[in-house]
Amino acid sequence: MQLDLPGGPHLTYCTNIHAGERWEEISDALQSHVLAVKRHVSPAEPMGVGLRLSGLASERLAEPERLAELKAFLAETGLYVFTINAFPYGPFHGTRVKEEVYEPDWRTRERLSFTNRVADILAELLPDGVVGSISTVPGGYKARIKTDADVARMAEAMIEHAAHLYEIERATGKEIVLAFEPEPCCFLETTDEAVAFFREHLFAADAVDRFSAQTGTSRAAAAAALRRHLGLCFDVCHAAVVYEDVSASLDAIATADIRIPKIQLSSALRLPEVTEAAEELLTRFDDGVYLHQTYEVREGRLTRYADLPDAFAALRRGESGGEWRVHCHVPVFEPSYGALQSTRDVLSEVLGLCRTQAIAPHLEVETYTWGVLPEDLRTDDIDGDIARELTWVRTQLGA
């Protein structure tokens, strides 16, 4: 596919915003919402698509006829796919998602097979000369990863997927990077944990030996391929919730020679001073669908709550205070919601760095919560809301 693509990082939004698990539903969203957003923000130039595929949708899209139809649609409309969100495997809207969003995790063959299938699809869709990315779960939910054997099994599957990406590149010339997305309360939660895991399990000597045996390459070629095909998706909301210094985190990842193929542009909720009113202020964001991990800093001590109800319970017991940050993706352009603030300043810092440095080739807005936000924060124009987010990001980037 030959396109006159813009210079600099590819900017898009993730279609996980739109409800739909079956391919037909996702296709409908491309033809309605994505085209409407393109008319707002990129009417005369190609626009990238951040495609979300469920396990079910990936099986359907892998059929040659469906894939040919999508390729024709993209060519006709000036759209192109450069990144796929393969994080949520199952339902992501309209039902309780919470910690089940991480299942199946990287201990399972199901996760590996799904991600291999998504990579095959992306290789078919990816424009020539564009690096592709696939974002995925950060190993699994931390409470469910209990043993060294669990960790070893995850690493083995990740290396096997890297070998699959290597074979795709060898056969097609298409370069794809799998990007693990650190998230609060997950196995890979912080930048430090991610860097250590890559060093000790994905880039270590035994990983190189395993990859070399699977691909028939030299150890030097294997070591280079692992670093080329495995990386991190830096979600700014997640980093803000766990109180990371984002500039230091990005430096640490670069120092460890770990690729960042994608940055997910997102903001979290922030309550600078927790009082008795905290529960009333935040309850309207507790949608019952998504996990809202809440991290508290009080007198220099970090406390983790797996979900908002846990934080509320601690507050009622008189055990909570200080500052709270809540994993709830809110519109990137809003700095505050009355007494509540967002972490937009953290996102602005990251975008400021992206403005002057080539940190990641892919930037993806990911406010997937539009449908469950409090009613006063929603409009009847989701396409216009998404376009407003993309326009704000472009302004921050100096475009």
Q: Per residue in 56-83, pLDDT tens?
A: 999 999 999 999 999 999 999 999 999 9
**pLDDT of res. 85:** 98
C-alpha dihedral, 198 to 204 to 209 to 212, nearest 10°: 40
Question: What separation in angstroms does the CA of 145 have from each of 70, 97, 302, 393?
Answer: 38, 19, 22, 36
> In this structure, are residues 315 and 274 in contact, taking their beta carbons and an 8 Å threshold?
yes
Q: Which two tokens stand for residue 329?
A: 């993706």
| 335, pLDDT greater than 60 | yes
Q: Per residue in 13-59, pLDDT tens?
A: 999 999 999 999 999 999 999 999 999 999 999 999 999 999 999 99
| 395, pLDDT greater than 90 | yes
- Distance CA(226)–CA(202), nearest Å, equals 7
| 5, pLDDT greater than 90 | no
**pLDDT of res. 1:** 44
Q: Which two tokens stand for residue 86?
A: 């393969």
SS3 per-residue string spanning the chain: CCCCCCCCCEEEEEHHHCCCCCHHHHHHHHHHHHHHHHHHHCCCCCEEEEEECCHHHHHHHCCHHHHHHHHHHHHHHCEEEEEEECCCCCCCCCCCCHHHHHCCCCCCHHHHHHHHHHHHHHHHHCCCCCCEEEEECCCCEHHHCCCHHHHHHHHHHHHHHHHHHHHHHHHHCCCEEEEECCCCCECCCCHHHHHHHHHHHHCCHHHHHHHHHHHCCCHHHHHHHHHHHEEEEEEHHHHHHCCCCHHHHHHHHHHCCCEEEEEEECEEEEECCCCCCHHHHHHCCCCCCCCCCEEEEECCEEEEECCHHHHHHHHHCCCCCCEEEEEEEECCCCCEECCEEECHHHHHHHHHHHHHCCCCCEEEECCCCHHHCCHHHCCCCHHHHHHHHHHHHHHHCCC
| 396, pLDDT greater than 80 | yes
Tell me, what amino acid is at 37? V
- Distance CA(187)–CA(342), nearest Å, equals 25
| 386, pLDDT greater than 60 | yes
**pLDDT of res. 117:** 98
Percent of the chain residues topping a pLDDT of 90: 95
**pLDDT of res. 210:** 98
**pLDDT of res. 380:** 85
**pLDDT of res. 350:** 98
Q: Per residue in 320-334, pLDDT tens?
A: 999 999 999 999 999
**pLDDT of res. 197:** 98
Q: Which two tokens stand for residue 219?
A: 């150890």
- Distance CA(384)–CA(40), nearest Å, equals 7
**pLDDT of res. 3:** 63
| 291, pLDDT greater than 80 | yes
The structural domains of the chain, ordered by start, are 10-267+343-396 (3.20.20.150)
User: How confident is residue 4, by pLDDT bands cut at 50, 70 and 90?
Assistant: low
Q: Per residue in 98-137, pLDDT tens?
A: 999 999 999 999 999 999 999 999 999 999 999 999 999 9
> In this structure, are residues 12 and 46 in contact, taking their beta carbons and an 8 Å threshold?
no
Give, rounded to a whole angstrom, the gap between the first and last alpha carbons of the chain.
Answer: 26
**pLDDT of res. 379:** 84
